[in-house]
Amino acid sequence: MAKEISLSIPSAVTRSRTKHRGESVVSIFRLSTHRLGAFRLSALVFLLSISGLLHAGISSQIDRQVISQGETFRLMLSITKNDASQIDLSPLDDNFEVVSRSHQSSTRIINGSIESSTKLVLTLAPKKAGILSIPVLNLAGEKSEPLQIEVKKVEQPSAVDGGVELLSTLSDESPNVQQPVIYQMNLVLGQRIFNAAFQEPKIKQGKALIEALGEQKQYRQTLNGREMLVVEQSWMITPQQSGVLEIEGAQLSAEVPSRQSGRDPYRRYNDPRAMRRIFVSADSYTLEVASIPAEFSGEQWLTASELKLTSHLSSEKWKQGEPVTRTITLQAEGMSEAQLPTIKLADVDGLKQYAAKPVKEQFYIDNQLASKMEIELTLIPSKSGVLDLPEFRLPWWDNTTNSQKVAIIPAQSVEVLPTEGANLAHLNSDSSSSNDQDLPPVLKGNVEKERSTQEPDIASFNKTTDTADRYAEAKGVSWLWFMLGCLVSLVIGVIISVVVMKKRIGMVTVSDSGRGLKHSSFSINALKKACTNNDPQIARAELLKWLQHSDPSIKHLNNLDGVVPAELLDQITQLNRCNFSSETITWSGKELLSIVSHMKEISPSSSKSEDVLEPLYTN
């Protein structure tokens, strides 16, 4: 049986709808294609612009995002069209230390154009823990991208536990303006360190001068039964203005053996993992610097913990026209050499004063700063009678009691005696005529001489006549005696010259080290006398003169290590303490007298003691 198959033929309306639907799809496709082309074109333009910017800047990246304290990481910078050696790396100094740097250069030819680029690789060591920002670096207007790195904190063992500690102290946390403050750093080492360097304290806010005091000191100290090496260094910080002064502490950068190094001492040379870098910082301080007090009445602002002013005359017997030496000595504690004042003495009628250049010294003993100034004045009185030296007053500010004090040189009266020439001129002026009153002293003397030669008496005239007759008789043979006398004088002069030259050659002695003390005709009696009298002030002055005679390059008694024997250095330290310490110290010159007396048998040591740690240098 045949099946009936029905076919459905769409009507005209159905065909019309289908036609319109197809046209709509085509229209939507065409519109989408148009929009996609516009989007692609915009994206292409944007990418080209971004590519140009990236091409013109500095590309930067780091090899690790998270590290631990003591580890290093690499910062890679891609630089084009500029010299990589000119890039400014100073912004990295706040948080990082540049351990090493290297660069690679490459050249490409694209479509006939030559393009060169440099890849700069920096090995950086973080100075502290936390999330640290790698700042933007600049090179000829081009800038790198800012980055961040996380540094995990690693607890550093104390020195007693075998670690490294950096301690600091400050002499005064509320100073006056221009009052020196001593910043002392003590590096305590419980283990050995390598490739060490430190940064001196810095001024973060305010204005101040920083100056290192002396050389580094190294000594051993035992704490909790463990022997440790201590490195000590001090700085003088002088505020230049009042207000807030922020001092950033000193910092140490060094390498220590890591846990993976084992006990092999040579592994650190060929295995980078055997060593790790540490950064240790001392305490920082914030000071409030006081201004000059309103009640201070001096012309020069002077602040110190102690100040003494003395005057000494070389002779108490003064004569008209003869010079006398006056020595003014100023000693100050808590004041630097550069802050010593200018001393101006008042003019005195009938007295001429000639001042020599002041001699200044600075000392740092037992963590105390002291300075000294000596001024020598040559005084020449121009008239006889009583001469009054006026009082001299020097106001200064005592920073221990926070009050004004005055150093005083008391007034002094001196009797000036007339010279013998002055008495003779006075007698001659009474017997001279009125015509001689207006003549200068030299011409008056000539007139007196002419008068004495023009008015001889009769007896002397007759005696002179008889002598002239005898001289005329012997005149014929006198020339022979004259020639003989000249010859004898010449021979004697040659003999004396030879003897003197031999003595001078024999007086010079040279020590084995080439810088030893030499003994000559210079007298040390004054030094021995001061030692016998136990007078530390005179002994110190005479010892300096004696050393200067041996070596003219010696200007003061500081930094003589290696120049004089160690025994003499100890005595110099004791003399400085006795002269410049605020406490009263009894000094005995017996030991110094013994050393000076046997100095010919002592030669300065040319070898230095071996240090466990080489001196640390500032960055």
Q: How many CA atoms lie within 13 Å of 93's alpha carbon, on the beta-carbon side? A: 8
Both 277 and 170 in one domain: the answer is yes
Long-range contacts of 591-596 (CB under 8 A, 24+ apart): 592/531, 592/539, 592/543, 592/568, 593/528, 593/531, 593/532, 595/565, 595/567, 595/568, 595/571, 596/524, 596/527, 596/528, 596/531, 596/543, 596/546
| Cβ atoms 564, 517 nearer than 8 A | yes
Residue 409 lies in domain: 307-417
Sheet of 275-281, strands arranged across: 275-281, 251-257, 194-199, 617-618
Q: What is the dihedral of CA 303, 305, 306, 307, to 10 degrees?
A: -10
Domain assignment present for residue 512? The answer is: no
Domain assignment present for residue 327? The answer is: yes
End position of a domain, from candidates 263, 289, 315: 289
Domain assignment present for residue 611? The answer is: no
Q: Into how many domains does the chain fold?
A: 5
Both 80 and 123 in one domain: the answer is yes
End position of a domain, from candidates 289, 315, 339: 289
Both 177 and 285 in one domain: the answer is yes
Give the pTM: 0.57
User: Cα dihedral sign for 543, 545, 550, 556?
Assistant: positive
Both 88 and 109 in one domain: the answer is yes
Predicted pLDDT of residue 617: 58
Both 285 and 323 in one domain: the answer is no
Distance of CA 61 to the CA centre of its chain: 42
Both 88 and 172 in one domain: the answer is no
- Go through 333-345 and write b for each residue having 16 or more CB atoms within 10 A of its CB, e for each that does not: bbbbeebbbebeb
Both 126 and 219 in one domain: the answer is no
In this structure, which amino acid lies at residue 223? L
Residue 392 gets which letter from DSSP? E
Task: Give the Å distances, CA to CA, from 56 to 49, 60, 83.
Answer: 11, 13, 14
End position of a domain, from candidates 452, 473, 507: 507
How many whole angstroms separate alpha carbon 117 and alpha carbon 119?
7
Both 179 and 145 in one domain: the answer is no
Domain assignment present for residue 236? The answer is: yes
Residues (pLDDT < 70) of the chain are 1-57, 81-84, 259-273, 420-480, 482, 498-523, 555, 558-559, 561, 580-583, 600-619
Instruction: Describe the crossing of helices 525-532 and 590-597 by its angle, rounded to 10 degrees.
Output: 150
Both 230 and 122 in one domain: the answer is no
How many whole angstroms separate alpha carbon 488 and alpha carbon 495?
11
Give the bridge partners for 97, in sequence order: 125
In this structure, which amino acid lies at residue 272? P
Task: Give the Å distances, CA to CA, from 590 to 522, 536, 572, 587.
Answer: 21, 11, 14, 9
Both 145 and 174 in one domain: the answer is no
Domain assignment present for residue 243? The answer is: yes
| Cβ atoms 416, 384 nearer than 8 A | yes
Give the closest residue to 241 by CA, choosing from 176, 191, 316, 186.
176
Domain assignment present for residue 569? The answer is: yes
Give the closest residue to 239 by CA, choosing from 193, 171, 300.
171
Predicted pLDDT of residue 222: 86
Helix (H) or strand (E) holding 407: strand 403-409
Give the closest residue to 227 by CA, choosing from 257, 185, 190.
190
The encoded tokens of residue 617 equal 């240098």
pLDDT digits (tens, 9 = 90+) for 371-406: 999 999 999 999 999 999 999 999 999 999 999 999
Both 383 and 475 in one domain: the answer is no
Both 272 and 177 in one domain: the answer is yes
Domain assignment present for residue 407? The answer is: yes
How many whole angstroms separate alpha carbon 427 and alpha carbon 448?
12
Predicted pLDDT of residue 116: 72
Domain assignment present for residue 619? The answer is: no
How many whole angstroms separate alpha carbon 30 and alpha carbon 35?
9
Residue 527 gets which letter from DSSP? H
How many whole angstroms separate alpha carbon 122 and alpha carbon 2?
93
How many whole angstroms separate alpha carbon 480 and alpha carbon 484?
6
- Three-class DSSP category at 234: strand
